Each structure stands twice: as structure tokens, then as C-alpha cells.
Amino acid sequence: MFFKLFVILLKENYNFVAKNQLNPSKWVDLYADYLFNYTISRVNDTIVAEDLVQETFLAGLKSAKNFKGEAAERTWLISILKRKIIDHYRKINSKKGKAEVKMGYSNRNEEEGDWLEDRVADPFDMNAEDVLQNEELGVAIQECLMKLPKKQADVFIKKTIEGMETEDICKELNISASNLWVIIHRARTALMDCLENNWFKK
């Protein structure tokens, strides 16, 4: 009884929850690709996405002392990145709004008849929902890739995403071809399991 009371008092006075720690020297290796994919699906511009990721890391480093350790490192970086993306759009809109001329179908009286055809959705074209789903899928795959051991993730990315030749990867990583296929097999199996749990069961 007294022991339980003692434990409760201790828990109230000291936070025993394991705190997350920041490790800025590993940010680029661990999160750069994930943050880049997250950003590019929202800004649609490679250079802007690269800049925003860089800015996020720098802002993270600046405000590292404010990190309480309650959230995971990645979640914390994503929250900074979200703010950076919002700021980016605010900046664009403040410039764009000044020179924008709005045109609508209601203004096109002289082209009567054309509008209906223009407005019909093209079934072979990717609609907004497809695009959104693919963006979410990209993030889900990135999340699963981050759970893999570094070597497996590296080999999988080089082979599957960057489309490198087997021979080149073997040379670069100093591994044999049969070793590469074993690594690929392990990575694919782990990714399939991960996506089944995190993507298909959503």
C-alpha cells in the first residue's frame, strides 16, 4: 500500500516517460527523403521542395532547445515543415494576388456550346482524388522504408526508386549480386508486410 503510494508520488513529481532526443547529425540521412516527398506532393516544385526541407532542418536546429521530447523527432520536424509550407504559400499568394486577372466560364458568352465539352471530366485523366491518394501512398511507402535497416533501405531505393543497374549498386556498396538479391528480397518482404498493415488496413 505504502509502496504504491510512493510510486504514484514519484510518478507525479518526475516524468518517467522515456523522452525523445534530437540527433541533428542524422537528420539528413534519416528524414531528408521523407520530408522531400512530403513537400513535393504539396508544392509541386523540386527546387522549392529542396529549399523548404533545408529550411526545416535549419529551423529545427535553431529551435532545438524548445524541443520537449514529447513527440518523435520526425513528427516534430514535420510540424516545422508544415509551417514552412504554409509560409511559402502565403508568400506566393501575396505576390500573385496583385497581378491576378480572374477568368471564368460565365465571361465566355461568345464561345457558347464549347463550355459543356470543356467541363466534362476526362475519365483517363488523373483526378484530384487519385493524385491525393498517390501522394499519401508515397508518404506511406517512405514511412515503411524508414523502418527498414539502413542497408536494406539503401539498396531498395537505389534499385527500385532510382532504377540503378545491379552491377553499379554492387560496385558502389561493395556487395555481390547474390547478396544484393537477398537484401532486395528481405526489403520487399518487410515492405509488403508494412504496407499491408499501414496502407491496406487504413
Query: Angle, nearest 10°, between helix axes 177-195 and 128-147?
Result: 120
Is 162 a binding residue for another protein by CB under 8 A? The answer is: yes
Whole-angstrom Cα distance, residue 198 to residue 194?
A: 6
Is 190 a binding residue for another protein by CB under 8 A? The answer is: no
Among 57, 76, 85, 88, interactor with another protein by CB under 8 A: 57
**40 vs 88, which CB is nearer to another protein?**
40
Is 151 a binding residue for another protein by CB under 8 A? The answer is: no
**What amino acid is encoded at 159 in this protein?**
K
Among 45, 75, 161, 171, interactor with another protein by CB under 8 A: 161
Residue 176 near residue 187 (C-beta atoms within 8 A): no
- Residues near 88 by Cβ (< 8 Å), separated by ≥ 6? 43, 48, 52
From the number of C-beta atoms within 10 Å of its C-beta (0-12, 13-18, 19+), residue 140 rates as middle
Among 30, 69, 82, 138, interactor with another protein by CB under 8 A: 138
Among 32, 170, 173, 175, interactor with another protein by CB under 8 A: 32
Residue 156 near residue 191 (C-beta atoms within 8 A): yes
Binding site for another protein (CB under 8 A): 24-25, 27-29, 32-33, 36-37, 40, 46, 50, 53-54, 57-58, 61-62, 134, 137-138, 140-142, 157, 159-162, 166, 181, 184-185, 188, 191-192, 195-196, 199
